[in-house]
Amino acid sequence: MSTNRETAIQVASVLSQALPYIQRFAGKTIVIKYGGNAMENEELKNSFARDIVLMKSVGINPIVVHGGGPQIGELLSKLNIESHFVNGMRVTDSATMDVVEMVLGGLVNKEIVALINRNGGKAIGLTGKDANLIRATQLKVDVSSPEMQKSEIIDIGHVGEVSEVNQDVINMLTHSDVIPVIAPIGVGEDGRSYNINADLVAGKVAEELNAEKLMLLTNISGLQDKEGNVMTGLTTEQVDELIADGTIYGGMLPKIGCALSAVNNGVTSAHIIDGRVAHATLLEIFTDEGVGTLITNN
């Protein structure tokens, strides 16, 4: 009996701590990029779905943008379609693009929608092609190496960047108590499909909607200093300094670029959070400690 009472008191304490955050963020939009380990572990998948449903239940408008790189690679391998990468981006010819659309727009998207709905939400799956949600242009990659006297522009196929987001479509859904789940596939003026990095799509959606938060789930605990300590409460100027001195480098740079762009273009804060932690999104939004790195313009 004592243990049950202690547990009940602990739950009450957590709810009490969450109250000011619930009041502060009610009616606000939060864009969450979902991927990495959180997408491949059954327990984490279910905790993520419950987090999204709880957010919607307390008056927050969550919008999910998901990736699916490992799932794409797995199906390409089964179909004996070889994968090539340039600067970390998958070269996407027509055959590869067909697989990308099947995996992102079909398999992965519908699994996330089903998980959210099973946990009491009302989710609907979209790609950027639905109602011209995400307009895209082809991305050309500038490649250089010590052996090359000048850089070379490489065409990597159906890989795109966001040129426009149709916010009316998203607003229509969120105002109808629906949770949008967006696959990062854009459409060009000529009707061609484009595979777009999910971080970029999440960032542009957050900017277009003037979201309260952009949350990028990762496979690390957050931005770390050179001693391995997680840094948080960073301004954009501090992040620029960390890039300049080499603390932030390599594969983290594109993700940080999305976060910086977001907070410089109307998003109140960006968060790099540890998707390996159960209920990571709730911990970051509703607790004092959080589970990642917070970046703001203030």
Q: Do 82 and 49 form a contact (C-beta atoms < 8 A)?
A: no
Is 107 within a domain?
Answer: yes
Report the CATH number at residue 201.
3.40.1160.10
In terms of Cβ atoms closer than 10 Å to its own Cβ (0-12, 13-18, 19+), residue 4 is exposed
CA angle 157/163/166 to nearest 5° reads: 120
Angle 184-190-196 (CA atoms, 0-180°, nearest 5)?
20
What sections of the chain are H helices per DSSP? 2-25, 42-57, 69-78, 94-100, 109-118, 167-174, 198-208, 236-244, 252-263, 280-286
Q: How large is the greatest C-alpha to C-alpha distance in the chain, in angstroms?
A: 75
Using an 8 Å Cβ cutoff, are 60 and 21 in contact? no
Number of domains present in the structure of the chain: 1
Residue 190 lies in a domain: yes
Within a domain: 75: yes
Which amino acid, residue 125? G
The SS3 assignment for 103 reads: helix
Q: Is residue 24 annotated as involved in ligand binding?
A: no
CB-based contact 65:198 (threshold 8 Å) = yes
Q: Is position 188 annotated in a ligand binding site?
A: no
pTM listed for this prediction: 0.90
Strands 61-66 vs 29-34: parallel, antiparallel or unpaired = parallel
For residue 65, tell me if it sits in a domain: yes
* Distance between CA atoms of residues 173 and 166, nearest Å: 12
| 188, part of any domain | yes
Residue 3 inside a domain? The answer is: no
Q: Does the annotation place 68 within a ligand binding site?
A: yes
In the DSSP assignment, the letter for residue 37 is: G
Name the residue range of residue 175's domain. 28-296
Number of H helices, E strands in the chain: 10, 14
Q: Is 169 buried (19+), middle (13-18) or exposed (0-12) by CB count in 10 A?
A: middle
- Joined tokens for residue 69: 């790189």
* Sequential pLDDT tens for the chain (298 residues): 457 777 777 778 777 888 899 999 999 999 999 987 778 788 899 999 999 999 999 999 999 999 988 888 889 999 998 888 777 778 888 999 999 999 999 999 999 999 999 999 999 999 999 999 999 999 877 665 554 455 556 667 888 999 999 999 999 998 888 999 999 999 999 899 999 999 999 999 999 999 999 999 988 888 888 787 888 888 889 989 888 888 887 778 888 889 999 999 999 999 999 888 889 899 889 887 778 889 998 7
234 within some domain: yes
Strand-strand pairing, 213-218 and 29-34: parallel
**Is 157 part of any domain?**
yes
Q: Is 80 annotated as a binding residue?
A: no
